[in-house]
Amino acid sequence: MADYFDAGKFGAICAIPFGHADLTTGESDTDLTAEQGSLHVMPQGGSVIGLVARVNASVTSGSAVFQAHKSGTEFTDGSAPSVTCDSSNQGSYASLAPGLVDFDAGDALGISVTTTTDMAPTNSLDVDALLFVQFNPS
């Protein structure tokens, strides 16, 4: 898979940071935020190639599921990255080959979170996440 990250063959890679403070139980497709809002407009077409999320404390019950989305709607393609933080995983990642989950220039990308109603701790769990994209080569 390392060959997929060759910018000369496949295009430049960019990691876009997102976060959310004080996750609560029962969140449903809640957008994580970035410095300037919850979405980043893409300057060129490309592919989502990875997603990582890490919470600042151990989840003792329940879970938080993170998904990439385009213009506020989660990617529904079976290859779309989704990661879970729970009692087994304080951090989680997913990577995929370029070309499986595509976006166009002008599309707004982001990350959303859905939490279970029994997730603990609540109101004190912070998350940092990165969305990795690879732009189509020129």
Task: List, in sequence order, every residue forming a beta bridge with 21; answer none if it has no partner.
Answer: none
From residue 20, how far is each of 9, 46, 79 by CA, in Å? 34, 26, 25
pLDDT score for 5: 62
pLDDT at residue 100 above 80?
Answer: yes
**DSSP state string for 107-122:** -EEEEEEEE-TT-BS-
Cβ atoms of 13 and 96 within 8 Å: the answer is no
pLDDT at residue 86 above 80?
Answer: yes
Looking at residue 75, which CATH number applies to its domain?
2.60.120
Type and span of the H or E element at 81: none
pLDDT score for 14: 92
- The range of the structural domain enclosing residue 25 comes to 2-135
DSSP state of 30: E
pLDDT score for 34: 86
Q: State whether the Cα torsion 89-112-63-81 is positive or negative.
A: negative
pLDDT at residue 64 above 90?
Answer: yes
The count of structural domains within the chain is 1
Confidence bin at 71 (pLDDT 50/70/90): confident
Task: Provide CB contacts within 8 A for 126, sequence distance 6+.
Answer: 19, 20, 21, 22, 23, 55, 56
Cβ atoms of 134 and 10 within 8 Å: the answer is yes
